[in-house]
Amino acid sequence: MSEMWINMGPQHPMTHGLWNLRVHIDGEMVLDVDPEMGYLHRGIEKISEDRHYNEVVTLMDRCCYVAGLAWEHLYILSAEQALAIRPPERAEWIRMMSEEFQRLGSHIMWYAAFVQDIGLMSPFLYGMRDRDLILDLFQSYTGARMTYEYMRVGGVRNDLPNGFTDRARKVCDWLIDRFVEYDRLCLGSDIFHKRCDGLGTMSEKDCVAYGVTGPMLRSAGSRRDLRKDRPYSAYDRVEFDVATADGADVTARYLVRMEEMRQSVRIIRQALDWLDRHPGPVMAARVPRWLGAPYAPIGNEGYLLKRNYPKGLGLSAIEEPHGEAQAYTVNDGGEHPYRVKFRSPVFANISAAKKYLVGYRVADIPPIMGSVDVCVGECDR
């Protein structure tokens, strides 16, 4: 068989979303790859310029549909910095707990999709089953299972319902037991190791040069985790370890994510204990009134309408389930953000595809891309 280009995508089971990986192959060997993005580009950054600060939260849920609360958190942190508003302490703990639950949900979703990629059928549904419990929890305090619209500039929309912490603890206990099963299904199988060991390696140096972050970077031995290095919310007040591995391959990324899930449960347990002991407000007392207005007059001059509000810039960076996400918010004193720019970890991770795909086989592409954990919604924005 001669050399040829094949399109893996936009509709292809490997992509887990809507993007196109053009692969140049010679027989089964991958000679070159060229990712084509943009199929899911909705112009969220542009739409944000036409929204109130709180309305952008709606868009954040659509950014990454498996980690909506993490993206809300990311945006809210930068918007609060730009607007110079501080949330009450309880809101920060709730946000942190939400983000960790979201990390669990996202990693379980990743696990389900990843094992499906290498042909393991049953764990896919185990993952879906267990993720449902987390979605139930989200539903109980945000009212939604996927698009939460929960966080607000200056706090969160509402407090946790009665009995939430007990339910959440039960879910944590259940999940910790399930992780053992997950490991036995994957690490206990020789075929899994044959498929995943030594695949898609990317050294720490390459990761840093190509902007690859998150579990991929930590699987190469780096200890970089923004929750430790640059603590936000209440991460400096909980105990947890940074999950790392050495292999820099697919198996190492698997190990890092599994360990991260365990650490997330650890953080959540501490957060639940704190939340039990510290009732209080979840919304800042002094928030400009127009922030909460659904439709303030816009007028024909569009977004040029200015309010006399202090200008500011906000940069937030969080350790999102896929890696390091950043938001840069420019507040020019108007009631809409002048510019919001997001850095998606998946965007950077995919941009390095040449580094970790070339030289392997066509059959290796699904496990490798699976280990990257692609979420196209946040990549294209």
Judged by beta carbon, residue 278 or residue 361, the one nearer other proteins is 361
**302 is a site residue for other proteins (CB under 8 A):** yes
Q: Which 116-135 residues touch other proteins, going by CB under 8 A? A: 116-122, 124-126, 129
Closest CB to other proteins among 259 and 324? Answer: 324
- By CB under 8 A, which span of 55-63, 139-147, 207-215, 237-245 interacts with other proteins? 207-215
Q: Does 305 bind other proteins (CB under 8 A)?
A: no
CB of 217 to other proteins, least distance (A): 10
Nearer to other proteins, 89 or 206 (CB): 206
* b/e sequence 199-212, b meaning 16+ C-beta within 10 Å: bbbbebebbeebbb
Cα-based angle 79, 268, 154 (whole degrees, multiple of 5): 20
Determine which residue in the list 317, 357, 372, 374 makes contact with other proteins, applying CB under 8 A. 317
Instruction: State which of residues 263, 270, 326, 371 lies at the interface with other proteins (CB under 8 A).
Output: 326
- Bridge partners of 4? 25
Alpha helix stretches (DSSP H) within 293-364: 345-351, 353-357
**Rule CB under 8 A: is residue 203 a binding residue for other proteins?**
no
Neighbours of 249 (CB within 10 A): 23
For position 352 contacting other proteins by CB under 8 A, the verdict is yes
> Which residue from 31, 284, 358, 362 is in contact with other proteins, where contact means CB under 8 A?
362
Chain position carrying tokens 């990843």: 114
Question: Looking only at residues 46 through 75 of this chain, which bind other proteins when binding is defined by CB under 8 A?
Answer: 46-47, 49-50
- Provide CB contacts within 8 A for 381, sequence distance 6+: 41, 42, 43, 44, 45, 63, 342, 344
Q: What are phi and psi of 35, to 5 degrees?
A: -70, 135
Question: How many residues in the shown chain lie near other proteins by CB under 8 A?
Answer: 78
> Minimum distance between the CB of residue 17 and other proteins, rounded to whole angstroms?
14
Q: Name the residue nearer to other proteins (CB basis): 48 or 270.
A: 48
The alpha helices in the chain, defined as continuous H runs, are 44-48, 56-63, 68-83, 89-117, 122-142, 164-187, 190-196, 204-209, 215-218, 226-229, 250-277, 289-292, 345-351, 353-357, 365-372, 376-380
Longest dimension (CA), the chain: 69
**Residue 215 binds to other proteins (criterion: CB under 8 A):** no
CB closer to other proteins, 300 vs 308: 300
* Stretch near other proteins under the rule CB under 8 A, chosen from 60-68, 88-96, 102-110, 189-197: 189-197
Q: Please tell me what DSSP assigns to residue 120.
A: -
